[in-house]
Amino acid sequence: MTRQTKQTAPQQDRLVTLLIRLSGYSSILLVTLIFIFLMKEGLPALADVGIGELFTDRWYPIEGYFGILPLISGSLIVTLGAMLVSVPLGVGTAIYLSEVAPSSTREVVKPLVEVLAGLPSVVLGFLGIIAAAPLLRRLLDLPTGLTAFAGALLLGLIAIPTIVSIAEDALNTVPAAYRQAALAVGATPWQTIWGVTLPAARSGVLTAVMLGMGRALGETMAVMMVTGNAPTLPHGLDALFMPVRTMTATIASEMGEVATGSAHYQVLFLIGIVLFLFSLVVNVLASSVSFRQRKRAERLLS
Amino acid sequence: MNERPMMLSSVNRQGLTPRRVQQLGYGLLRLISLITVLPIFLVVVYIVVRGVPSIDWEFLTAMPREGMRAGGILPAIIGTVYLTLGTAVFAVPLGVAAGVYIAEYAADNAWTRLIRIAIINLAGIPSVVYGLFGFGLFVIFLGFGTSILAASLTLAIMTLPVIISTTEEALRSVPQSFRVVSISLGATRWQTIWRVVLPQALPGILTGVILGLERAAGETAPILFTGAAFFLPRLPQSPLDATMALPYHIFVISTQVPGMPVQIQFGTVLVLLVFVLGMNLVATLIRSRARARREW
């Protein structure tokens, strides 16, 4: 023990603790860095292009038209369409898995939903082009199958795993005593689900829906491949069956061709800022909802 | 007798007893679940059936020929392996350390809540925004160029929240008594974590790591402008080279190259699917084996 090159345990502890602490704080640093870089590259667009110009309905960058309204509306149409698909299917499946399904069925359904969560979106986009779009075109008698509708269907599928897993968690955390009490006063299992369990889990289910929406809004490849890439402002309800272009798809398809630092480049980063802020709002809201739910459950059970 | 109060009002009108309502409700839930699950099943079967005939030794080990309309997809496969390993190199140490911090060290205070909010936000940022960020920071600002290095770093940041959350969860599931015994025998906090807690949590952490890397392997948007190449005549030679990758290659051959043979498209999709679902399977096996063996 004369040559003390090896550190003593407490010394080693201090060093490791420091490294671990730094790693722990890294996520704050990263979110801040991401925000700073988006702002640094995107904010100049407000001055160079002008806010008034940005909120117009014409996106035609080659001729200097940078109206992002068609892109925002494209994202909204596709996302809302996707929610019409994924909320009933996702929440229904979560209720089935948590309250009804025998464990043998659960063992089949849950891994399949996990498979869907793992399917790369580019694979679904490929299937959208090669199988879904031609089918939709024939069924609905449209000039092209590559429409907001096709995008909404695919996105609905993509958002399902998020909704199922979080909503199921929420239902599982409803104390068994709630269900037992409902059954004991004479409710049927269905009345218990509908009148007691689901309302008790509603904030968690709401979180699931919001995070699913965030997932759909941020999805890029599948949407870019099947929505037909037409940055036009929709008029009326039939917009669902016309080609659109989302914010994410615009960044993905145009970023590769722009000159670094050009107005077009800045506007694409500005769209990135819009997406970042959207997801920030959705996620902070979702996490505050589930936080409050936990507080209430603690209060009720204490 | 438990049906009496509801029956009085509903049976007269519809013959809908609560029992009948329940049958209908359950039927509806079963139908919904079937509608959810069936497309997933069909997608996988369809890709396997259409893709398997394209797979042969040449397809997996040869360079593309004739404008990618013939030959193999070796550079895309190798590229995806490189990117996945590169992601692991950066994301695993940082993510596991951050998970350890939150589970074992962090006090319940405002900073910790801020860290949690940051992780939740990282998890929610759209993948294409990661691509923008990676381009701004790694490609331009740090001067890595479009490269495996820049793409791996971008994917790593995107993967981080999955690894942090699963690590935290795995560590929290290790019983407190393990730590108490170890500390009471004179071990330091770090020795306790390194020798006692982490080994117990390892299967859970591994599962999370693999699921995170699975997502990274299948992502296209973050690598579009940070490291993916349309076509390269040779394999990448260093981490500073751009690379082809399976997801981007699928995008290219299904939208950018006219006259692409369908067999090559389905073959490439199948290879990516096997890659990704293979990782999924490994993760599932690790998890279920660990559950079966667990002694606490």
- Over residues A33-57, the pLDDT tens digits come to 999 999 999 999 888 888 888 888 8
CB contact under 8 A, B276 and A268: no
Q: Is residue B199 part of a domain?
A: no
Choose among A13, A96, A114: nearest Cβ to B190. Answer: A13
The pLDDT assigned to A2 comes to: 46
Q: Is residue B198 part of a domain?
A: no
Asked if the model's pLDDT at residue B294 lies above 80, the reply is no
The pLDDT assigned to A300 comes to: 57
What's the gap in Å between the CA of B245 and the closest CA on chain A? Answer: 12
Q: Nearest-CA residue of chain B relative to A255?
A: B225
The pLDDT assigned to B4 comes to: 47
CB contact under 8 A, B40 and A130: no
The pLDDT assigned to B90 comes to: 97
Interface test with B, best of A7, A12, A34 (most B CBs within 10 A): A34
Contacts with A108 from chain B: Cβ below 8 Å:
37
Q: What is the 3-state secondary structure (H, E, C) of chain B?
A: CCCHHHHHHHHHHHCCCHHHHHHHHHHHHHHHHHHHHHHHHHHHHHHHHHHHHHCCHHHHHCCEECCCCEECCHHHHHHHHHHHHHHHHHHHHHHHHHHHHHHHHCCCCHHHHHHHHHHHHHHHCCHHHHHHHHHHHHHHHCCCCCCHHHHHHHHHHHHHHHHHHHHHHHHHCCCHHHHHHHHHCCCCHHHHHHHHHHHHHHHHHHHHHHHHHHHHHHCCHHHHCCCECCCCCCCCCCCCCCECCHHHHHHHHHHHCCCCCHHHHHHHHHHHHHHHHHHHHHHHHHHHHHHHHCCC
Distance CA(B245)–CA(B290), nearest Å, equals 33
CB contact under 8 A, B254 and A268: no
Interface test with A, best of B30, B31, B33, B139 (most A CBs within 10 A): B33
Contacts with B215 from chain A: Cβ below 8 Å:
118
CB contact under 8 A, B18 and A189: no
What's the gap in Å between the CA of B159 and the closest CA on chain A? Answer: 12
CB contact under 8 A, A34 and B125: yes
Cβ contacts of A36 within 8 Å, gap of 6 or more? none
Q: Is residue B4 part of a domain?
A: no
Most confident of B52-56, B257-261, B285-289: B52-56
- Count CB neighbours of B45 within 10 A: 10
Interface test with B, best of A18, A27, A79, A197 (most B CBs within 10 A): A27
Strand partners, B65: B70
Q: Is residue B156 part of a domain?
A: yes
Contacts with A164 from chain B: Cβ below 8 Å:
36
In this prediction, residue B130 has a pLDDT band, given cuts at 50, 70 and 90, of very high
Q: Is residue B265 part of a domain?
A: yes
CB contact under 8 A, B115 and A9: no
Most confident of A88-92, B55-59, B281-285: A88-92
3-class SS of residue A228: strand
Please state, for a pLDDT cut of 70, what percent of chain B lies above it: 94
The pLDDT assigned to A1 comes to: 43
Where b means 16+ CB within 10 Å and e means fewer, B210-239 reads bbbbbbbbbbbbbbbbbbbbeebeeebeeb
In this prediction, residue B2 has a pLDDT band, given cuts at 50, 70 and 90, of very low
3-class SS of residue A49: coil
Q: Write out the residue range of the structural domain in which residue B235 sits.
A: 57-176+205-293
Give every residue of chain A whose pLDDT is below 50, as ranges.
1-2, 4, 302
CATH number at residue B148: 1.10.3720.10
Q: Nearest-CA residue of chain A relative to B129?
A: A272
Residue A253's nearest CA partner among B131, B153, B141, B217 is: B131
Q: Is residue B191 part of a domain?
A: no
- Report the mean per-residue pLDDT for chain B: 90
Q: Nearest-CA residue of chain A relative to B161?
A: A27
Contacts with A220 from chain B: Cβ below 8 Å:
126-128, 220-221
Q: Nearest-CA residue of chain B relative to A226?
A: B255
Q: Which domains does chain A have, with CATH numbers?
A: 54-301 (1.10.3720.10)
The pLDDT assigned to A234 comes to: 67
A to B CB pairs, distance under 8 Å = 276
Choose among B22, B100, B130: nearest Cβ to A188. Answer: B22
Please state, for a pLDDT cut of 90, what percent of chain B lies above it: 72
Amino acid A284 reads V
Q: Is residue B40 part of a domain?
A: no
The pLDDT assigned to A184 comes to: 93
Q: Is residue B195 part of a domain?
A: no
Asked if the model's pLDDT at residue B147 lies above 70, the reply is yes
Choose among B119, B251, B279: nearest Cβ to A27. Answer: B119
CB contact under 8 A, A279 and B133: no
CB contact under 8 A, B131 and A248: no
Asked if the model's pLDDT at residue B11 lies above 70, the reply is no
What's the gap in Å between the CA of B203 and the closest CA on chain A? Answer: 18
The pLDDT assigned to B234 comes to: 85
Question: How many structural domains are present in chain B?
Answer: 1
Lowest-pLDDT choice from A229-243, B76-90, B94-108, B187-201: A229-243
Contacts with A216 from chain B: Cβ below 8 Å:
none
